[in-house]
């Protein structure tokens, strides 16, 4: 039986109390206003985890061993779509995240939106909240160690499954694969991610 794992820190009294408060408030949140932000790492050595081969033969796949390129994908998840996608070579720092908020996310926000992020220090960059509130939106932070409360994590899992199948070996091919993967997301997928994380359906 496959195990389902959670951060052990969720059992800390302070984290447990914060999670309980968040869960209690979830039914009152208007899903049509929620905008979940996060990032995930991608690279040019992604490959399918399973394959087919003749019985008694080992299933082999070739992936880069010593030379590959890494990138970071940032996006926002609404209840009906993925929006504000952004792919950058390497990791995200405060400067990059600020640029993402200003140039990519904020033009997509609507007055009354609630932007929800985790507690990553980069997400609390100085001036970040001001950029969001200037659009008429508000900001909330998830409880610590609670990726299960962010439905975009399931969207990223679907994205990565597509990318493993694509097997891109250059950043250009990876970018094209991301575009193709995003086109496969339908409103019912996004609504399912919200329901799985126990946010009210729309």
On whether residue 186 sits in a domain, the answer given is yes
Across residues 4-21, what is the average pLDDT? 85
On whether residue 187 sits in a domain, the answer given is yes
On whether residue 3 sits in a domain, the answer given is no
On whether residue 185 sits in a domain, the answer given is yes
How distant is the alpha carbon of residue 29 from its chain centre? 20
On whether residue 148 sits in a domain, the answer given is yes
Asked whether residue 3 carries a pLDDT value surpassing 50, the answer given is no
What gap in Å lies between CA 114 and CA 116, rounded to an integer?
6
Residue 63 is predicted with a pLDDT of 58
| pLDDT tens per residue, range 18-36 | 999 999 999 999 999 999 9
The proportion of the chain whose per-residue pLDDT surpasses 90, expressed as a percent, equals 78
On whether residue 23 sits in a domain, the answer given is no
| pLDDT tens per residue, range 117-148 | 999 999 999 999 999 999 999 999 999 999 99
Token pair, residue 71, equals 């990138």
On whether residue 17 sits in a domain, the answer given is no
- Name the nearest CA neighbour of 110 among 130, 126, 132: 132
| pLDDT tens per residue, range 73-104 | 999 999 999 999 999 999 999 999 999 999 99
| CATH code where residue 99 lies | 3.30.420.10
Asked whether residue 50 carries a pLDDT value surpassing 90, the answer given is no
Q: What total of structural domains would you count in the chain?
A: 1
Structural domain of residue 110, as residue ranges?
30-47+62-196
On whether residue 24 sits in a domain, the answer given is no
């Amino acid at each position: 039986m496959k195990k389902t794992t959670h951060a052990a820190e969720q059992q800390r009294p302070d984290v447990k109390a914060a999670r309980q408060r968040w869960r209690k408030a979830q039914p009152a949140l208007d899903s049509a206003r929620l905008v979940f932000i996060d990032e995930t790492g991608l690279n040019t050595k992604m490959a399918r985890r399973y394959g087919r081969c003749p019985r008694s033969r080992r299933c082999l796949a070739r992936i880069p061993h010593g030379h590959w390129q890494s990138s970071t994908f940032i996006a926002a998840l609404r209840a009906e779509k993925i929006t504000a996608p952004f792919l950058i070579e390497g990791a995200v720092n405060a400067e990059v995240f600020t640029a993402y908020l200003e140039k990519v996310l904020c033009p997509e926000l609507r007055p009354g939106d609630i932007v929800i992020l985790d507690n990553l220090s980069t997400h609390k960059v100085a001036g970040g909240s001001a950029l969001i509130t200037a659009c008429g939106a508000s900001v909330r932070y998830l409880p610590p160690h609670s990726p299960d409360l962010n439905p975009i994590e399931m969207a990223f899992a679907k994205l990565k499954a597509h990318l493993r199948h694509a097997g891109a070996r250059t950043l250009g091919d990876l970018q094209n694969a991301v575009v193709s993967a995003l086109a496969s997301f339908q409103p019912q997928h996004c609504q399912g991610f919200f329901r799985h994380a126990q946010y009210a359906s729309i």
